[in-house]
Amino acid sequence: MSVAVTWLGHSTVVLDLTTPDGTVRLVTDPLLHRHAGLLRRRGRRPLTEAWLGADAALLSHLHHDHAELRSLRLLGDVPVLTAPANARWLRGKGLRGVGLDDTWHEVARWVDVRLAPAVHAHRLMPHRPNTASGHLVRARVGGRPVTVWAVGDTEHFPGIAHVRDLAGGHVDIALVPVHGWGPRLSGGHLGPAQAAEVCAEVGVRVAVPVHWGTLHVLGARHLPPGWMDHAGRAFAAAVQRHAPETRAVLLRPGESYQAAGLDA
């Protein structure tokens, strides 16, 4: 079993899971255009070949930097797996929203997805549901299943360690948010140190930091200097202190991490 993790910036990650029937491609919180409303992307937009041919999208919540309708439509007629209230809203927009619950949903043979708990109640939206969740992806090939946790936007909450039980006792790869899109981190998010502590609590083997270094408000990219590059390095350092059994893998937008033999 192998899993390729390609970070496209912010919370957009492409998971390519190799199965006996071929590769299953999942895209988390697709943000595929140059900008997202008032937010500006640092660097170029993701290359089309990086996300083309997705089998499904995993949508954590409906904030505009995660649920960008133009990007979701670029993926084509693929299922968008999310919480039921979000799925109903997406179907009203002409997208194939699929509401998940706390059971496993088969995306393709060998690959299942279910929701994972998250707490992200800040910045209520009057015209969109505010249900937030993470996702657990399970690839059932070979020995024990390989599990990927797309954490989604969340604060630290009591019982987050229960995610390990939901995942079947282990989390091989976690896509962990470590910051935001401004110099100051707003409520409902994990900072670098908290994100590392979560990895320790859940027992994450490999952690890829996301939700950092990509988006900024117009005019705020360089104020204060270096803020966009700080969170990734701070997370890697915090993992060494707080989660020594976790390996932090820092990617630049467009870079991939190839994990093989995870079922060993």
- The CATH number of residue 205's host domain is 3.60.15.10
Whether 123 is in a domain gets the answer yes
Quick one: pLDDT at residue 122? 76
Answer whether residue 264 shows pLDDT above 50. Answer: no
State the pLDDT confidence band at 127, using cuts at 50, 70 and 90. confident
The burial class, CB within 10 Å (0-12 / 13-18 / 19+), for 160 is: buried
Answer whether residue 50 shows pLDDT above 90. Answer: yes
Whether 159 is in a domain gets the answer yes
Quick one: pLDDT at residue 140? 85
Whether 11 is in a domain gets the answer yes
State the pLDDT confidence band at 117, using cuts at 50, 70 and 90. very high
The pLDDT mean for the chain works out to: 93
Answer whether residue 47 shows pLDDT above 90. Answer: yes
Whether 230 is in a domain gets the answer yes
Of residues 28 and 264, more confidence is placed in 28
Whether 257 is in a domain gets the answer no
| Total count of domains within the chain | 1
Whether 102 is in a domain gets the answer yes
Give me the domain span that covers residue 206. Answer: 2-252
Query: Global pTM?
Result: 0.95
